[in-house]
Structure 1
């Protein structure tokens, strides 16, 4: 494999070259570049498998480098390092699928761990790429008929009557026994936790593949049922009662969760049923799904069918609203998200986090946000009514992962809107631009204020201070300027021009026009025509 080191500081590149035992991690070539342009040129000689790059360089940043690499479609692992911890840098790096983000001075142990992680992720992605090419082949194997049978059993497509089940077994020429019992293992993952690098079909294949290999100890899919329900993706594994012991099943399920986290980059949760007759498996599946739906705090673990999620009697939990208010005022996005994450982790450690507490925290957090925005005269509902915000709000009720995604979105939008509201010149410019784009419509100040997420009264005050005009005066002034051009350059009637510039009646248009120009539209057109003829225009 090849590695490329990019940093404008030559001694740093030299240290990196000598610091890591590259051959131990499978690298037989390490190239160097000291700016983005040089690095891009070197790609023509051979695409590296791993890029280690400084973010801040004088001739092109590391962010520009990774963006270029992703746009070219190159499959490179990527490690960033920088002198300055920055929430924006880290967030942008994550959005371009960087493998690690390290701070200088570089620690050898952390750097080697990052290299190991990047190499492992790269190998897995490439393996999954091969799986994707052949992912549909598993549907054509000899277990297709049996897999279809178990799907019909679990989804109640086949009646739970034993005689009808036996009839289906004979009709499909299967060797399944109805007189024995079966164990159902249900593995679940939130759809929202699936890495964006996966498309749905490939992930489902990889999830089913891993579940079969670990739980059945073979890569066949005759006893695997993959399906989606609401916000969850499930893989059900059906085992014969005497296949293995309960202890062995729990060990395999624990390994499955570990490998899902390591290779699929998501948190899996497993539920193991008691041994049940074949005609009761559909009901068992429904019961395990109910357990999964109610499980907020005990995810990422293995649970039996009759596990009771023991929780300490919850103490009343009050979010530190004063502290969060201060952080919002100071626009500390990273601290807000990190502190919220820490609060939730402390509740988990105390066995105090469940759906009700999560809902209380969410509403208290929103209360802080709405109070801050109200003081800044920002209309909060305008920020969070889009589809993404609404979806995350709903999902945040049952998943810590989705809760943090929702909190991150709310924090980002709130802080950026506060910044924007504090730049009055920018706000007025946006309001003026909105008027220019919509002056032909029946426009009012409420619509203009909504376009910049401010209350009408506050925008009116800022607008007057900045321009010396009310929004209505500015609108009329802009409309009349447009009307003047039409009167000179077109043959449209006065009535048509009135409508084209947003006035409902000719009389009101004429009144405003005369007030601002000192003459009627007809008089203005006649004078301009006379002047043009006189000047030979």
Structure 2
């Protein structure tokens, strides 16, 4: 008989599930409960749990964190997530591809019973697995976390890539190892997400990617394994007696997996199929797969076979950016964008775009853009320091798709701002508004220029042409007017007035006030308050 644990911080939700499901019909002998992650861990230490129903959002620690702990220490337990967040609906669709489901609250009990039944079927199927090979079952079913750590140590060279060292490491960990056993590694790399995801949502989606890979790539090869390498990257390891076994079917499996990822996980993803290797050769092969992934800047959602991948030394033919620079000077930003995009797309069609060429193009194009903006008085580092622009910049050289997106953003933002500075009135108006909002602060000409993304000298010329005086003179006039009004119309202490109009030094304020009114602040207040009365 099976035991099930419900983990939810809402007592009513727990009791609702306990009373709403026909446990006897499902063959669940015992239903245990926990209201915190700590309580759940205590249950695991004293009871065998076959299935866990777990809420995601809980105080102190999340259901995702609990599941990671369970997978490490109790990997035989299957988890079904529960949540009340409807905007995770796409994650639910994704997770249904794997053996673990994702159910929205309020819980539809019929759906929950069906999901639990699927989990029970999987448990029974796993327990009835036949002996796949002399070593396959031990490698990929017995102590899965220990096996995963063994592979990770091989990949990171914690175990030296030497046959004797690998054999000794396996013996020390009580892992059956046959030096003749061979495997095919496959690197699965996310290229970009089509939806903006929080870190929590991205973690859910990566968890679903792993489940989908187990379903669609490992398939009925129950002794295969999926390992999470780092953010957005998985490694599938499939045992094989010969490379020929995979040549006909593995590429098709990866293509179906990619189609599912695009449809359900809202991402672009490519698969990189390695060659058949022994354990001691895993480190070198994974590095080779990573290099192929790094070099792939031209293609999205594609399957690469490392055996057929050739690195060709290419002559990098960069476009004539001197011509584009002249076009930018004349304001032809959109035409430059069109020509640059056409150039990159043409290189992709010729199969002549590699990571090196993409990097060179990006550096030259960025330099050309920044010089063009500088000539127009725009400070590029200010215009592109917002979080969205920084994200585009950070990912620009990962692929041609990202680079074209960066060019569209950079040129679009430049064109938008140039259209505003062509009308000096709008810039001057923004400067005046900024001065009035920050008049009590220690404002410099550079502070004001940074606010409108312009070079201070260029801004001074625009401002003086429109207003007839320098920005510093205008700032002082506004402070003096405000100080005069406050002296006459309020009983504020003069030191407080000085601070309110941006003077931290009371003596300096008094000297400047007298220099321009022939009276100190006390005399001014006495004269004009009496006049008003």
What is the TM-score of this pair, normalised by structure 1?
A: 0.65
Q: Deviations over 1:77-127 (max 9, x none)?
A: xxxxxxxxxxxxxxxxxxxxxxxxxxxxxxxxxxxxxxxxxxxxx9x7773
Measured in 2, the distance between the counterparts of 1:261 and 1:324 equals 38
- Corresponding residue of 1:418: 418
Preserved contact between residue 187 and residue 234 of structure 1 (Cα < 8 Å): yes
Task: Report 1:457-496 matches (<5 A).
Answer: 457-496=457-496
* Residues 408 and 150 of structure 1, relative CA distance in 2, 3 Å threshold: farther
* Residues 183 and 149 of structure 1, relative CA distance in 2, 3 Å threshold: farther
Preserved contact between residue 369 and residue 414 of structure 1 (Cα < 8 Å): no
Measured in 2, the distance between the counterparts of 1:169 and 1:182 equals 20
- Corresponding residue of 1:209: 211
Preserved contact between residue 396 and residue 403 of structure 1 (Cα < 8 Å): yes
Measured in 2, the distance between the counterparts of 1:471 and 1:445 equals 7
- Corresponding residue of 1:128: 94
Measured in 2, the distance between the counterparts of 1:387 and 1:221 equals 44
Preserved contact between residue 212 and residue 237 of structure 1 (Cα < 8 Å): no
Preserved contact between residue 186 and residue 235 of structure 1 (Cα < 8 Å): yes
Q: Deviations over 1:294-341 (max 9, x none)?
A: 3334664433445553436324322455357647855765x6555433
* Residues 130 and 496 of structure 1, relative CA distance in 2, 3 Å threshold: same
Q: Deviations over 1:267-316 (max 9, x none)?
A: 33222222222343344323322332233346644334455534363243
* Residues 195 and 177 of structure 1, relative CA distance in 2, 3 Å threshold: farther
Give the deviation of 1:423 after TM superposition: 2.1
Q: Could you list the runs of 5+ residues in structure 2 that have no partner in the other structure?
A: 1-84, 104-115, 127-139
Aligned residues: 407
Measured in 2, the distance between the counterparts of 1:246 and 1:169 equals 33
- Corresponding residue of 2:345: 345
Give the deviation of 1:525 after TM superposition: 0.7
- Corresponding residue of 1:183: 184
- Corresponding residue of 2:135: none
Measured in 1, the distance between the counterparts of 2:86 and 2:92 equals 12
* Residues 520 and 169 of structure 1, relative CA distance in 2, 3 Å threshold: closer
- Corresponding residue of 2:252: 251
Q: Deviations over 1:132-169 (max 9, x none)?
A: 9825999x966886542342123107746344554477
Q: Deviations over 1:220-242 (max 9, x none)?
A: 6961112325xx42342333335
Q: Secondary structure at the match of 1:436?
A: helix
Preserved contact between residue 268 and residue 299 of structure 1 (Cα < 8 Å): yes
Say which of 146, 149, 161 aligns to 1:152.
149
Measured in 2, the distance between the counterparts of 1:492 and 1:435 equals 22
* Residues 474 and 481 of structure 1, relative CA distance in 2, 3 Å threshold: same
- Corresponding residue of 2:294: 293
- Corresponding residue of 2:453: 453
Q: Secondary structure at the match of 1:341?
A: helix
Measured in 2, the distance between the counterparts of 1:166 and 1:298 equals 39
Preserved contact between residue 294 and residue 355 of structure 2 (Cα < 8 Å): no
Give the deviation of 1:495 after TM superposition: 4.1
Question: Is the aligned partner of 1:302 residue 2:303?
Answer: yes
Preserved contact between residue 271 and residue 288 of structure 1 (Cα < 8 Å): yes
Measured in 1, the distance between the counterparts of 2:337 and 2:317 equals 22
- Corresponding residue of 2:5: none
Measured in 1, the distance between the counterparts of 2:528 and 2:224 equals 86
Q: Secondary structure at the match of 1:250?
A: helix
Measured in 1, the distance between the counterparts of 2:294 and 2:399 equals 10
Preserved contact between residue 166 and residue 178 of structure 1 (Cα < 8 Å): no
Measured in 2, the distance between the counterparts of 1:145 and 1:431 equals 69
* Residues 467 and 131 of structure 1, relative CA distance in 2, 3 Å threshold: farther
- Corresponding residue of 1:520: 520
* Residues 326 and 455 of structure 1, relative CA distance in 2, 3 Å threshold: same
Q: Secondary structure at the match of 1:274?
A: coil
Provide the aligned C-alpha RMSD in A: 3.7
Question: Is the aligned partner of 1:502 residue 2:505?
Answer: no
Preserved contact between residue 189 and residue 233 of structure 2 (Cα < 8 Å): yes
- Corresponding residue of 2:274: 273
Q: Secondary structure at the match of 1:352?
A: coil
Measured in 1, the distance between the counterparts of 2:141 and 2:246 equals 27
Q: Secondary structure at the match of 1:183?
A: strand
Measured in 2, the distance between the counterparts of 1:331 and 1:239 equals 57
Measured in 2, the distance between the counterparts of 1:184 and 1:168 equals 24
Give the deviation of 1:263 after TM superposition: 4.6
Q: Secondary structure at the match of 1:314?
A: coil
Q: Secondary structure at the match of 1:385?
A: coil
Q: Secondary structure at the match of 2:267?
A: coil
Give the deviation of 1:416 after TM superposition: 1.2
Q: Deviations over 1:452-486 (max 9, x none)?
A: 11111221122122222321221111111221233
Measured in 1, the distance between the counterparts of 2:305 and 2:345 equals 25
Measured in 2, the distance between the counterparts of 1:348 and 1:281 equals 31
Task: Report 1:295-334 matches (<5 A).
Answer: 295-297=296-298, 300-311=301-312, 313-323=314-324, 326=327, 333=334
Give the deviation of 1:193 after TM superposition: 3.8
Give the deviation of 1:344 after TM superposition: 0.8
* Residues 299 and 131 of structure 1, relative CA distance in 2, 3 Å threshold: closer
* Residues 187 and 363 of structure 1, relative CA distance in 2, 3 Å threshold: same
- Corresponding residue of 2:26: none
Give the deviation of 1:428 after TM superposition: 0.9
Give the deviation of 1:347 after TM superposition: 0.9
Measured in 2, the distance between the counterparts of 1:523 and 1:265 equals 71
What is the TM-score of this pair, normalised by structure 2?
A: 0.65
Q: Secondary structure at the match of 2:248?
A: helix
Q: Secondary structure at the match of 1:184?
A: strand
* Residues 125 and 162 of structure 1, relative CA distance in 2, 3 Å threshold: closer
Give the deviation of 1:509 after TM superposition: 2.4
